Amino acid sequence: MSYWGPEEGRGWRPDDDETVVMPAVPREIRSHRARGRGRGRGAGRPEPAAAVPPHADGPVRRAVRGIGEVLITCGLIVMLFAGYEIWGKQIVIHKQQDRYEQQLQRAWQDPPKKADDAPPLPGQALARLYIPRFGIKLIVVQGVTPEDIRNAPGHYPDSAMPGQIGNFAVAGHREDAIFPRNFDKLRMGDDIIVQTRTTWFVYRTYQQQIVDPHQVDVVNPVPGEPADAKPTKALVTLTTCNPWWDNYQRLIYHGKLVRQMPTADGMPKELKG
């Protein structure tokens, strides 16, 4: 039993066997406390108003947001285009080079129907081109129209065939899958090697030029001379765009034939290192 009163002691305490709980507050005490809270600071003040939602976007804000979205979209398009230029084009060129390689192997396996140095039809595989400095191995096609050289270097139709006296002239795009961006680092004395059905031709570079696109005499039988000048040496000329990101100039390399060997004798030593 619990008790409350001064005659029994100060305050309330439970019997030893009674569960301890918080006693209920008498009604008169609750009323007194409620009145005290009413007289406290801030009594009678209204509750704070709810936050006012932001105003709808005005025309300026909508215009800024629209411009931002357009710029982000343009940026993504530029990134996708750059990715295609760097990687996508290389994939396409490699696949087409594989097709040219198969075409060349079939042509070389068949018995020759005409002289070995006769050119194939425009756009068809002609020979293999190697440039050890850059690890280049490419199929050269006949012709230099935009379609001919889209995925391969092309042989100028009016120039000499590989190994012939005259100028075997070849044009190619300046991109990593054909003539790479650092193609201007080819050194004098570096090898340019051409393989036909029967013969390896090893040329050695002796001159680099940067010329105007209209200076076509660089692919003449005697480079830099009139077209009717009589050649006395077997030369090779490679032409490509300069600088690599544009085409307002042409980067030119000239090489002279230093030796040749039958393909039946295996690979030349210049490709074994």
Active-site entry in 94, 155, 214, 241: 241
CB distance 168 to 159 below 8 Å: yes
CB neighbour list of residue 108: distance below 8 Å, 6 or more residues apart: 197
Q: Is 152 helix (H, G, I), strand (E, B) or coil?
A: coil
Residue 74 annotated in active site: no
CB distance 90 to 177 below 8 Å: yes
Active-site entry in 32, 74, 94, 173: 173
Neighbours of 254 (CB within 10 A): 22
- The Cα-based distances of 76 to 81, 82, 83, 224 in angstroms read 9, 10, 11, 46
CB neighbour list of residue 251: distance below 8 Å, 6 or more residues apart: 174, 183, 184, 208, 209, 210, 239, 240, 241, 242
CB neighbour list of residue 27: distance below 8 Å, 6 or more residues apart: none
DSSP 9: -
154 beta partners: 141, 171
Residue 241 annotated in active site: yes
Catalytic residue list: 173, 241
